[in-house]
Amino acid sequence: MSELESLKRRALDDLKTALDEVGLREWNSRYFGKAGEILAALKIVGSLPPEARKEYGQQANQVKVELTQAYETALAEQKQKSLENSLSAEKLDITLPGRPPRPGRLHLATQTLRDIQAIFAEMGFQVFRSREIESDEFNFALLNMPEHHPARDMWDTFHTTTPGVILRTHTSPGQIHVMRKFHPEPIRVILPGMCYRYEAITTRSEIMFHQVEGLVIGTSVSMTDLKGTITAFAQKMFGDNRKVRIRSSYFPFTEPSIEVDMDCIVCAGKGCSLCKKSGWLEIMGAGMVHPEVLRNGGYDPAKFTGFAFGMGPERIAMLRHAIVDIREFWANDLRFLSQF
């Protein structure tokens, strides 16, 4: 037997004794490593007499190819075997309880806004969105509060560095946007959105809060429609037996202006700590749209009348859920938010 032949047999026998991947890799470096026997056998070629070189070289290469193939086959088999082993040994235990996903939820303010929108949608109101950054003109002047009008003091305002550009203090400027868009068609919309006021933050007031404005314009809209609409809203929101009363008030953009109260949901009018012994809770401001405001929106006050109202959904949510601190709404505390 030639030396090459016996090298090959020895290598193949050795390969059979390699029991795992580590053993196989050891075998590989023993025969094919830098100091391995195959390399050594190939190097010999140079020292042979020229006539013997060709045959020897071919044989050596042949041995190399056979051994490489044998090694690769053994390695692949070994890998397959260890995969099968681990699959049967480490069975997946699907009886372990899973990790439950933590579902998110809508913010209480959003939930309340959607409830309010749904109630007004049933009464045929559409939702109209308008901007949070407003001009002084829309926020005040076009709502019948020219510059230096003392009524402007009712709203503490955030100003931007651009003169005349402010954060809206109420959703009422949206009234002008809707009117200018739809005149001379009749209008029945609500305008929900965020408002901003430069105020001290207390349990009762925040620098940002939502409002829902309402606006109805037509050729025979009266105070009776206003009262009926608001009563229907209060009863849908707080329960069929709710009573509503209106008080005279003042807003520059309505004439007459009213304040709307609802009998207290805790004591039903008897007087308790929530209603401060009065038996009534204030829920919104409202009134008949001022002729000047109609005109600014493009409606002829000789032909058209309208009513408007404005309420704070956070206040409504506070009444509904007995929340005592309005600051909870934007404090981002999950202990509060996840209760609703």
Judged by the rule CB under 6 A, the positions of this chain that interact with ligand DAH are 170, 172, 213, 251, 254, 285-287, 308-310
Which of residues 11 and 285 has its CB atom nearest to ligand DAH in the complex?
A: 285
Which of residues 28 and 175 has its CB atom nearest to ligand DAH in the complex?
A: 175
Q: How far is CA 178 from CA 129, 145, 226, 297, in A?
A: 9, 19, 19, 8
Please state the closest distance from residue 333 (CB atom) to ligand DAH, in A. Answer: 27
Which of residues 251 and 329 has its CB atom nearest to ligand DAH in the complex?
A: 251
Which of residues 192 and 287 has its CB atom nearest to ligand DAH in the complex?
A: 287
Please state the closest distance from residue 191 (CB atom) to ligand DAH, in A. Answer: 9
Integer Cα distance of 31 and 69 in angstroms: 13
Which of residues 13 and 153 has its CB atom nearest to ligand DAH in the complex?
A: 153
Please state the closest distance from residue 287 (CB atom) to ligand DAH, in A. Answer: 4
Please state the closest distance from residue 214 (CB atom) to ligand DAH, in A. Answer: 7
Tell me the residue nearest to ligand DAH as measured from the CB.
310
Which of residues 138 and 251 has its CB atom nearest to ligand DAH in the complex?
A: 251
Please state the closest distance from residue 303 (CB atom) to ligand DAH, in A. Answer: 20
Please state the closest distance from residue 262 (CB atom) to ligand DAH, in A. Answer: 16
